[in-house]
Amino acid sequence: MSLVSHAVPGPLRPFVAAAHGYRAPALPTGLHRGLPSRHLTLVVELAAPLRVSGTGPAVAAHAVVGGLHTRPALIDATRPQDGLQYALTPLAAGALLGLPAAELAERTVQLADVLGRATDRLVDDLAAAPGWFERFARLDAALLDRLSGRVAPVPPEVREAWRLVHRSAGRCRVEDLAAHVGWSRRHLSEQFRLATGLPPKQAARIARFEATRRLLVDPQRLPLAEVAARCGYADQPHLAREWRALAGCSVGTWLREELPFVQDGAPVGGAPSPA
């Protein structure tokens, strides 16, 4: 598999956490599991329509976008893939896609359902580009054209709660977050969900999962019992249950079949604010 990283223009950086171009052969298993993360995902697949299930109704399209999710996106990997993948911050839902992040939560949809006929023109434009530089430039330009100055503000209390969830790698209680920002738990949970797509308890669950994944891909891999302790799980069986629920397979299966793959290449370090 070949992977090309790209730095997006300054105006897009609050909304695009990472950008990659990829070329990948068919996988022997014929399946790729797109793991939950703190980012929405935009994929433009040029070789053939991308087939995704597991997060809402199945879709098949050259361009798809998915919100935050707590179960794996199951991607048909029976054919070679060639395209671009952008990891979006929650604020990108409103700024670039024109809808609240909550409307994309636990879903993957055709980009055409969001952007309309402009999607077909975008896919054709990228397919005609002679190289990676031109592909990235054309997708960046399309996103910049979508960028609106009328982005709905995210309350500072939500921004602070998001920061603490990821700074603590999910090892924080919603009650403590609410007390810290001066809101009730119920009010924080609802406002957080509207801004990001998930309530803080589920966001913390994903943050712990990301921390686990960081340790699992470290060349100096720790025993699973120590990974569980470091990431805030009660014990190794607790980690195993959570991994299976979020990744759709055991830790061992994922390491054997999936590591590494570009759709899991969204950064798991740092905590870009939803604001």
User: What is the structure's pLDDT at 275?
Assistant: 52
User: Residue 251 to residues 61, 241, 246: CA-CA distances in angstroms?
Assistant: 30, 10, 11
Domain shared by 137 and 169, yes or no: no
DSSP summary character for residue 220: S
Contacts for 242 with CB less than 8 Å, ≥ 6 apart: 205, 208, 209, 233
Domain match, 61 and 97 both: yes
Mark whether 204 and 257 lie in a shared domain: yes
Same domain membership, residue 184 and residue 69: no
**pLDDT tens for residues 152-177?**
788 999 999 999 999 999 999 999 99
Residue 180 backbone dihedrals phi, psi, to 5 degrees: -65, -40
Is residue 161 domain-shared with residue 122, that is, in the same domain? Answer: no
- Which portions of the chain are predicted below pLDDT 50? 262-263, 265-266, 268-270
Cα–Cα distance, 86 to 101 (Å, whole number) = 16
In a domain, 274, yes or no: no
Domain range enclosing 6: 2-146
| Residues 21 and 141 grouped into a single domain | yes
What pLDDT, on the 0 to 100 scale, is given for residue 33? 95
Residue 93 and residue 51 in contact, taking contact as beta carbons nearer than 8 Å:
no
The pLDDT value recorded for residue 270 is 47
- Could you identify the residue written with the tokens 């801004």? 195
pTM strictly above 0.95: no
